[in-house]
Structure 1
């Protein structure tokens, strides 16, 4: 009897989790606001497949932590390595991607860049820009995140 009491609820719980995963999958992403204090500049990228300059980042893969995903994305999109733990500044609901997408925003001020990022199939351009001279095509969400961190704007729950 004890086996049925502990076995069936555990199996039932796993089946419900599987059902909700298939029925209502949630996605999770990370973005990094890389700030070079010396030049008071931020690192932005421009993808080949979407318009505008934005913060580097991407999806968290199965088995990855948020910081592991961030480190992978920064290496892929900017040849940037973390040299100290990044600071999680805010979490945002990204309804433009899906009804269940969330993005963690990290501030990175301790990093190294092995070489400038050259264009490839995913990244059209990548560069540091002074905070007072951002590219005209910087996305609205990127501008909001910069204002929240550097100008004291209240963080929005939405990306």
Structure 2
């Protein structure tokens, strides 16, 4: 390959990269999508699940949150569990299902994980985001547990049919 052919090829590659970047930016503007993670932290010995109650929305929920730009889902899950529950994952979490969260937006999706190997050195103390947090036996869940949370628990732990919707 001659120098001019190589320069032409490099120019085409640069143009292809630029075109790809432009299309990705266009799709970000035209079709922005959000991705979240939730974790079902399960104490099998106690038959208990970890739930949180936010300061800004009603009901008890599974811990989780948004996946940040350039963050993988497993890292987002680990970060959210530390932030919301003072829980450290000690073995890989198991991806159980993916859901479209149409109540949040037309483009929100949530990955649901099961965590059975973890460490919590001290209970989560209330802060600006988390009003309360703790483990609850499955037969004594708070009455304000959200319907979506109850569905996810049943899907993961009881094997009920998984809904595509959060």
Fold-level match, TM-score > 0.5?
yes
Provide the secondary structure at the position in 1 that maps to 2:79.
helix
Cα offset, 1:31, TM superposition: 0.3
Provide the secondary structure at the position in 2 that maps to 1:63.
coil
Cα offset, 1:7, TM superposition: 3.1
Rounded Cα–Cα distance in structure 2 between residues aligned with 1:112 and 1:2? 54
Cα offset, 1:38, TM superposition: 1.3
Rounded Cα–Cα distance in structure 2 between residues aligned with 1:58 and 1:153? 24
1:144 correspondence with 2:151: yes
Cα offset, 1:9, TM superposition: 2.9
Rounded Cα–Cα distance in structure 1 between residues aligned with 2:140 and 2:9? 67
Provide the secondary structure at the position in 1 that maps to 2:139.
coil
In structure 1, the residue matched to 2:97 is 90
In structure 2, the residue matched to 1:103 is 110
Provide the secondary structure at the position in 1 that maps to 2:18.
helix
Of stretches 138-147 and 6-15 in structure 1, the one that deviates more from structure 2 is 6-15
Q: Give the gaps of 5 or more residues in structure 2.
A: 1-7
Provide the secondary structure at the position in 1 that maps to 2:84.
helix
Mapping for residues 5-20 of structure 1, pairs under 5 Å = 5-20=12-27
Rounded Cα–Cα distance in structure 2 between residues aligned with 1:128 and 1:122? 18
Question: Could you report, residue by residue, the CA deviation over 1:1-25 in whole angstroms, capped at 9, with x for unpaired residues?
Answer: 4345433333212101111112221
- The number of residue pairs the alignment matches comes to 159
Q: Give the gaps of 5 or more residues in structure 1.
A: none
| Root-mean-square deviation over aligned CA pairs | 1.1
> Which segments of structure 1 move beyond 6 Å, counting only runs of 4 or more?
none
In structure 1, the residue matched to 2:49 is 42
Mapping for residues 15-94 of structure 1, pairs under 5 Å = 15-94=22-101
Provide the secondary structure at the position in 2 that maps to 1:132.
helix
Provide the secondary structure at the position in 2 that maps to 1:42.
strand
Rg (Cα) greater in structure: 2
